[in-house]
Chains A and B, each alone.
Chain A
Amino acid sequence: MFQPAITSFFTRK
């Protein structure tokens, strides 16, 4: 399985 980064779900402020 592939582990995406948390930044692909939350936007940078």
Chain B
Amino acid sequence: MFEARLTSAATLKKVLEAVKELLNEASFDCSDSGIQLQAMDNSHVSLVSLTLRSDGFDKYRCDRSLTMGMNLASMSKILKCANNDDTVTIKAQDDADTVTFVFESKKQEKISDYEMKLMNLDQEHLGIPETDFSCVIRMPSVEFARIVRDLAQFGETVLICCTKEGVKFSVSGDVGSANVKLAQTNNFDKEEESVSIEMQEPVSLSFACQYLISFTKATPLSPRVQLSMSSNVPLVVEYEIAELGYIRYYLAPKIED
């Protein structure tokens, strides 16, 4: 028996929004410790890694580990039927070929359930090596989304250069070029608005804008985003999900032809 309950369907809706642009379907691996998802996008350029810890749920029970392959468009249709403040419970029997989503309104006057067929997905898991990153940038997630959206208008590739002074995002294309520089702030009063940089050595890497835009669909999950970079390894874009877990996106850097 698997059962996981969240008092706010809004969180699950946001999690789904954060992955469904990159993934058509995904396997949710459920165990005692929580729910995990690891999947590459269709073109195998980026990787999504989601962890929802069991202790972050309002109720969590997983008698036997199970993998639930879900079509994310179908899951999205179902979650649209929930109000943000509904309680949501995800249920499945051991070895089941369906999963059930139960939505309960705050006053319990409306209870709905939606059963969805599970899929057998042949998904391969990748081993992600531990990396000591040369640069770790933390900034407001809304600011990152804004920069990516603004610059993507002018080119397909963004160059991110990080030094101890700050981080520079640059794009060039047919129209011309654009640069956004963010200085490290010492804004101790408003930590949420600060830009902080931990740098071992400077890094310059190029990335496809379209993937960064997809990653920023996670912005509603967290006020902060963390970018971790080292030369010649994938960028990690991480959003913490308060008291529940995190979503990390890995993106292979572009290299010179």
Contacts and interface: CB of A to CB of B under 8 A. Distances in A.
A12 B123 CA distance: 11
For this complex, into which size category does the number of interface residues on chain A fall?
Answer: 10 to 19
A6 to B, nearest CB: 5
A3 B206 CA distance: 10
A11 B252 contact: no
Interface string A1-13: 1111111111111
Interface residues of B, number: 25
Interface string B69-81: 0000000000000
B255 A10 contact: no
Given A10-B129, A11-B127, A2 B47 contact: no
Interface of B: 40, 43-47, 124-129, 157, 206, 208, 233-234, 250-257
Nearest to B156: A1
Nearest to A13: B125
A6 B256 contact: no
B47 A10 contact: yes
